[in-house]
Structures are given as C-alpha cells and as structure tokens.
Amino acid sequence: DQQVKQNSPSLSVQEGRISILNCDYTNSMFDYFLWYKKYPAEGPTFLISISSIKDKNEDGRFTVFLNKSAKHLSLHIVPSQPGDSAVYFCAASDNAGNMLTFGGGTRLMVKP
Amino acid sequence: DTEVTQTPKHLVMGMTNKKSLKCEQHMGHRAMYWYKQKAKKPPELMFVYSYEKLSINESVPSRFSPECPNSSLLNLHLHALQPEDSALYLCASRSTLDGITLHFGNGTRLTVT
C-alpha cells in the first residue's frame, strides 16, 4: 500500500507559467514533508520542505503548501523555466526522521 | 560542503563476481543510507546506519552486505547478484540541522550480467 502518492506521472508547462505538482499521503504519523528534484543519471537533490505545524513554505520560485486535513501537499514553481524539467519526488517522514517514504514521482517538462 | 560522493559511477558485474560500492561524506552527518532505484520508480530504502551501527535493514537479501567503517564512509558489498538487482544504488546522509533532510550522492549505476 503506497503511503505517499503522486497521481500525475507527468506534467507539461509553458516557460514562464506556473507548475503545480501534487502529492497525497495516507499516514497520519507523517510530520515532515520534502520535495526532491532528480535529473537523469544524478541523485535526488533536495528542494524544499515543510513541517506539519506550517501550511506554507516559500523559497524563491518554489512554494510548498500543506493541507493536513486533506493529507495533501503541492509544490508551486513560478515562473517555470526549462531548467526545471526533471522528475520531482515528494517524500514524507515522521518526526523521528529515521526514513523517508517517497512518492512515485512526476516528470515535469517545461517548454520554451 | 553538502556533497555525498559515490564510487564507481558505473559498474558491470557477472553473477559470480564480488564487488563493492563506496560512499563518502564529510558533513559530519551521523546517519547514512543505502537506497535502490529502478527505472521510473521511487528510491526504495535498503539500509540505515546511525552512529556507525546498522539500525534499519529493510529485509534486503544477504547477497547485499553493508558496512560502515567510520562515520564518513559507507560501503555496500555485493556477491552473487541476480540480473534483477540491476539498478541505480543511491547513498544518502541525514542532515544534523533538521534531523530529517537526506542529501544524496549521484549513485552507482549497476548492471548485473
């Protein structure tokens, strides 16, 4: 049973527009959520995180929103750039931090 | 320095070979991880070392044998692998700032023939 799900395997967006990537989770014990970006032949790169005590965290062009009651989070990228084209993984952890549970990933393609 | 270094980048081995994957970090992180990633799938946790002791083994077959010689190094010894073990093997270390965020290396692309 997947505890972290990314229901859109791919997303295509025009350069300069907003990219919205979604993630749902089922485990109420998850307390901390992260987004990673992965280029081919590289390891995942940490992008941004959010604790369950917040509903929004912003870092430059990247904003993560958390809706605890809906067990849903989203990553907004504004404005999207061609260099943002990659696979984005949502991940979740309990507050012990022993392990991250990853979603299946969403491939983002930003068209010039 | 937020780098996790993995060697080799690519490895091709036969089913009777013995090989090792290496991982190194100098960020002072005290927890290190091995993940396995197949194509179009998320990373799957294999092992966690905390303060140089194995704390989590996700029921990984014994043909994979982890070792943590010191707080900066993590090895994965491979023996008698199967073709289905071909994958990207990722090492990560856990940040001491938030105790949650993992920093990943670029992985070793393993092909078992």
pLDDT tens-digit series, residues A78-88: 999 999 999 99
Answer whether B45 sits within 8 Å of A41, measured CB to CB: no
**In this complex, is the C-beta atom of B43 within 8 Å of any C-beta atom belonging to chain A?**
yes
pLDDT at B31 over 90: yes
Q: What is the mean pLDDT of residues A11-38?
A: 96
Is residue A90 within 8 Å of A83, Cβ to Cβ? no
> Which residues 59-78 of A have a C-beta within 8 angstroms of B?
none
Is residue A21 within 8 Å of A107, Cβ to Cβ? no
Q: What is the mean pLDDT of residues A106-111?
A: 98
pLDDT at B6 over 90: yes
Closest Cβ–Cβ partner in B48, B90, B103 for A98: B48
Among B64, B60, B52, B82, which residue's Cα sits nearest to residue B19? Answer: B64
**In this complex, is the C-beta atom of B99 within 8 Å of any C-beta atom belonging to chain A?**
yes
Average pLDDT across chain A, whole number: 94
Among A99, A73, A83, which residue's Cα sits nearest to residue A7? Answer: A73
Q: What is the mean pLDDT of residues A28-34?
A: 93
**In this complex, is the C-beta atom of A43 within 8 Å of any C-beta atom belonging to chain B?**
yes
**In this complex, is the C-beta atom of B66 within 8 Å of any C-beta atom belonging to chain A?**
no
Q: What is the pLDDT of residue B18?
A: 95
pLDDT at A97 over 90: no
Mutate: best of B102, B103, B106, B108, partner A, most A CBs <10 A: B102
Average pLDDT across chain B, whole number: 94
Q: Which two tokens stand for residue A32?
A: 């901390």
- Do β-strands B10-13 and B108-112 pair in parallel, antiparallel, or remain unpaired? parallel
CA distance to partner chain B, nearest, from residue A43 (Å): 4
| Sign (positive or negative) of CA dihedral B67, B69, B75, B80 | negative
CA distance A45 to A23: 18
Q: What is the mean pLDDT of residues B23-52?
A: 94
Residue A71's Cα: distance from chain center in Å?
13
- Which residues of B are less than 8 Å from A104 in CB distance? 41-42
Closest Cβ–Cβ partner in B4, B42, B100 for A103: B42
pLDDT at B57 over 70: yes
Q: What is the mean pLDDT of residues B26-49?
A: 93
Q: What is the dihedral of CA A78, A82, A87, A90, to 10 degrees?
A: -10
pLDDT at B38 over 60: yes
Q: What is the dihedral of CA B94, B98, B100, B106, to 10 degrees?
A: -40
pLDDT at B2 over 80: no
- Dmax of chain A from CA atoms? 42
Q: How confident is the model at residue A2 (pLDDT cuts 50, 70, 90)?
A: confident
**In this complex, is the C-beta atom of B30 within 8 Å of any C-beta atom belonging to chain A?**
no
In the block, tokens 């917040």 appear at A54
Mutate: best of B37, B44, B100, partner A, most A CBs <10 A: B100
More confident residue, A99 or A107: A107
Q: Which two tokens stand for residue B91?
A: 């090492």
Q: How confident is the model at residue B33 (pLDDT cuts 50, 70, 90)?
A: very high
Among A85, A87, A62, which residue's Cα sits nearest to residue A73? Answer: A62
CB atoms closer than 10 angstroms to residue B2 = 11
Q: How confident is the model at residue B65 (pLDDT cuts 50, 70, 90)?
A: very high
